[in-house]
């Protein structure tokens, strides 16, 4: 969890519902199609989404990599079917392997997918694919089909009658950004991706190679609030063969003498990139959650699942009939934070008192909220215990939520976590570091397995590193070749 405002309402574009349908010419096909928004409205939508995406998932800082993506993205944008649209590129600080686009020219790469690429051409292929979704207005079409209402980050969760719905997700509302494209959309984006990649002289065949990597990974589950590439971009069929054929056609048509791949340049660029979860942003060890950068810790109930995101930490038991949310208030005054937060969440405060938590000033409150079941129409009540804790110039907030009949049985579990929030002083916990990509040069010709063994890679990591390098362990590697390894 990163130090940002977490109780701000995230409004996800309700203006769509008020837009008047109109016919517009699709920039790619040249045909007229029904659209619920103009280009100006599309750009405005992207401008509203972008800060929400960044604040929700965090931004990974890498100036050199961003310069490459922005420069090549600008070049690609100028030869695309929407050359006058300004494109924006971001790297998200998550290990999940995905890339996605939102209306208005915004394209996002996770550091997880950047770690998986093995050359610039693969990166450009995926960039072109996502740009294709934008130029063909697939993102607008998908959003137009969704009736988006206003979502309250925490309030919407608390008001939900089914805790099982969000037991495995840190951000339900942001799932609206990851609408699945149709198979026809995917085929068109592949075709456009190969075209755009080829027209800026990159080898479009590498795009097909990377799709093979994704298929090997078969990552269908979502982690940390972001689905994987294969879950948001369903496989339209034998895309490897199709993309390979398209790349060959563009090579014959354009006739460049030197098709760029730039393997070594890319690998050297990602050398040192954080790989996997970053414990500096919070991690679980045993039955406790530790945050080295913000120097706090708190216990996690035994058997509970935990999802950590830049906006909040969410915990829930497997049976899903209770949950805790840990976040930060936007106010820096304890009384104001408690009053404003409970009011914003439309909670009816039943009891409130000043207290201390491990010597830190705090306010505890018990509240309830009535809601109507969408299925039965019956009124039901949820109860919430909240703790606001003043620590290190910030107000930290816990909410423990359950339905009224179950609340008393969960109350002690909630308080056991909240009242044991504490300063983190253990040097071993404070000094924890993430895993990182370490690019090594092969000294002599051998198999991949032999090369990795010469680097001291344990046998248990061999298969994972073969996939990371898009190779088989039996493949031959030449002296001087760069390979990705992972170091602590």
- Whether the CB-CB separation of 313 and 283 falls below 8 Å is answered with no
Q: Is residue 4 part of a domain?
A: no
Are 283 and 320 within one domain?
yes
Give me the mean pLDDT over the 66-81 stretch. Answer: 97
pLDDT tens digit sequence for 110-149? 999 999 999 999 999 999 999 999 998 876 665 544 433 3
Q: pLDDT (tens digit, 9 = 90+) per residue, 240-261?
A: 889 999 999 999 999 888 899 9
The last residue of one of the domains, among 219, 247, 275, is 275
Q: Are residues 148 and 221 in the same domain?
A: yes
Examine the fold and report which residue of 237, 259, 275 is the final residue of a domain before the chain moves on: 275
Residue 93 counted as domain residue: yes
Same domain, 265 and 290: no
* Geometric angle at alpha carbon 417, from 415 and 423, rounded to 5°: 125
pTM for the predicted model, two decimal places? 0.79
Do 268 and 414 sit in the same domain of this protein? Answer: no
Question: Looking at the structure, do residues 323 and 266 belong to the same domain, yes or no?
Answer: no
Same domain, 270 and 284: no
Q: Is residue 334 part of a domain?
A: yes
* Per-residue pLDDT at 161: 40
Looking at the structure, tell me whether residues 265 and 148 fall in a common domain.
yes
Last residue of a domain, one of 405, 430, 455: 430
**Rounded Cα gap, residues 148 and 18, in angstroms:** 11
Domain of residue 187: give its range. 14-154+165-275
Instruction: For residue range 426-485, list pLDDT tens digits in order.
Output: 999 999 999 999 999 999 999 999 999 999 999 999 999 999 999 999 999 999 999 999
Q: Which of 312-321, 404-413, 465-474, 478-487 has the lowest mean pLDDT?
A: 312-321
DSSP state letters, 295-363 = TEEEE--TT-EEEE-SS-EEEE-TT-SEEEEEEE-S-SSHHHHHHHHHHHTT-EEEEEEEEEETTEEEE
How far is it, in rounded angstroms, from Cα 331 to Cα 253?
A: 60
Q: What's the domain count of the chain? A: 3
Same domain for 455 and 425, yes or no, is no
| CATH number for the domain that contains residue 382 | 3.40.1000.10
Q: Band the pLDDT of 234: cuts 50, 70, 90.
A: low
Q: Is the pLDDT of residue 354 over 50?
A: yes
224 and 295 share one domain: no
Residue 196 located in a structural domain = yes
Res 15 pLDDT > 50: no
pLDDT value at position 310? 80
Among 112, 120, 65, CA closest to 89? 65
Regarding whether 147 and 85 lie in a shared domain, the answer is yes
State whether 258 and 288 are in the same domain.
no
């Amino acid at each position: 969890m990163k130090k940002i405002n977490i109780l701000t309402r995230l409004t996800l574009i309700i203006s769509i519902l008020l837009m008047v349908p109109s016919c517009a010419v699709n920039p790619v096909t040249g045909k007229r199609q029904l659209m619920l928004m103009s280009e100006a409205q599309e750009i405005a939508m992207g401008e509203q989404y972008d800060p929400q995406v960044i604040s929700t998932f965090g931004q990974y800082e890498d100036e050199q990599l961003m310069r490459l993506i922005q420069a090549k993205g600008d070049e690609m944008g100028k030869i695309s079917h929407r050359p006058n649209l300004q494109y924006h590129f971001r790297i998200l600080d998550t290990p999940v392997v995905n890339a996605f686009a939102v209306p208005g020219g915004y394209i996002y790469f996770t550091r997880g997918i950047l770690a998986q690429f093995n050359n610039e051409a693969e990166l450009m292929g995926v960039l072109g694919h996502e740009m294709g979704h934008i130029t063909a207005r697939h993102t607008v079409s998908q959003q137009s089909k969704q009736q988006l209402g206003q979502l309250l980050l925490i309030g919407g969760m608390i008001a939900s009658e089914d805790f099982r719905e969000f037991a495995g997700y840190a951000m339900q509302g942001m799932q609206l950004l990851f609408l699945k494209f149709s198979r026809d959309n995917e085929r068109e984006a592949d075709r456009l991706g190969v075209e755009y990649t080829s027209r800026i002289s990159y080898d479009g065949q590498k795009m097909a190679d990377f799709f093979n990597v994704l298929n090997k990974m078969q990552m269908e589950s979502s982690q940390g609030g972001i689905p994987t590439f294969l879950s948001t971009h369903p496989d339209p069929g034998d895309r490897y063969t199709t993309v390979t054929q398209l790349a060959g056609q563009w090579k014959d048509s354009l006739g460049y003498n030197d098709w760029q791949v730039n393997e070594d340049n890319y690998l050297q660029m990602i050398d040192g990139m954080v790989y996997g979860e970053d414990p500096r942003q919070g991690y679980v060890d045993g039955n406790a959650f530790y945050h080295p950068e913000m120097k706090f810790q708190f216990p996690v109930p035994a058997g509970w699942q935990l999802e950590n995101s830049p906006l909040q930490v969410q915990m829930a038991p497997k049976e899903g009939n209770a949950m805790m949310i840990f976040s930060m208030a936007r106010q820096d005054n304890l009384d104001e934070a408690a009053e404003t937060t409970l009011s914003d969440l439309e909670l009816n405060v039943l009891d409130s008192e000043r207290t201390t938590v491990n010597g830190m000033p705090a306010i505890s409150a018990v509240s309830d909220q009535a809601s109507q079941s969408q299925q039965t129409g019956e009124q039901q009540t949820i109860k919430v215990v909240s703790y606001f804790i003043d620590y290190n110039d910030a107000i930290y907030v816990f909410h423990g939520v359950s339905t009224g009949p179950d609340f008393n049985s969960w109350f002690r579990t909630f308080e056991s976590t909240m009242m044991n929030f504490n300063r983190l002083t253990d040097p071993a916990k404070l000094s924890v570091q993430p895993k990182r990509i370490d690019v090594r040069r092969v000294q002599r010709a051998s198999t991949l397995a032999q090369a990795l063994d010469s680097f001291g890679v344990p046998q248990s990591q061999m298969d994972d590193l073969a996939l990371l390098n898009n190779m088989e362990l039996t493949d031959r590697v030449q002296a001087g070749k760069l390979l990705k390894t992972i170091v602590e």
